[in-house]
Structure 1
Amino acid sequence: MNKILLVALVFLLNLNADTLFGKVVKIIDGDTIHILDSSKRRHKIRLFGIDAPEKK
């Protein structure tokens, strides 16, 4: 029972997504980018569930 509760809790914690509009100013690797928003703030975005190679 505890394992089911733990899995459900982890799943629910991953549902807190927001929408961010901006311009991609840098691509770090296959799953990480930097976005510049309308107030000129830079955001580091990690894409979840992407199986991309690292920059190495």
Structure 2
Amino acid sequence: MSTEKKADNKIDEVAGKVKEAVGKTVGNESLTAEGKAQSTKANVKQAGEKVKDAFK
């Protein structure tokens, strides 16, 4: 996995976790769900990149 993709995925994951935490803090279920989805999407991307690397 390229370093740039790793960094982008990690940034997305952290941003999602921040959104989720802020959503929980202020009681905004929509923001919480959005953050959770963003974090999950980043984790899936990371897993996909690791699979690609395994077959190189």
TM above 0.5, yes or no, is no
TM-score, normalization by structure 1: 0.34
More helix by share: 2
Larger-Rg structure: 1
More strand by share: 1
Structure with the bigger RCO (C-alpha within 8 Å, sep 6+) is 2
TM-score, normalization by structure 2: 0.34
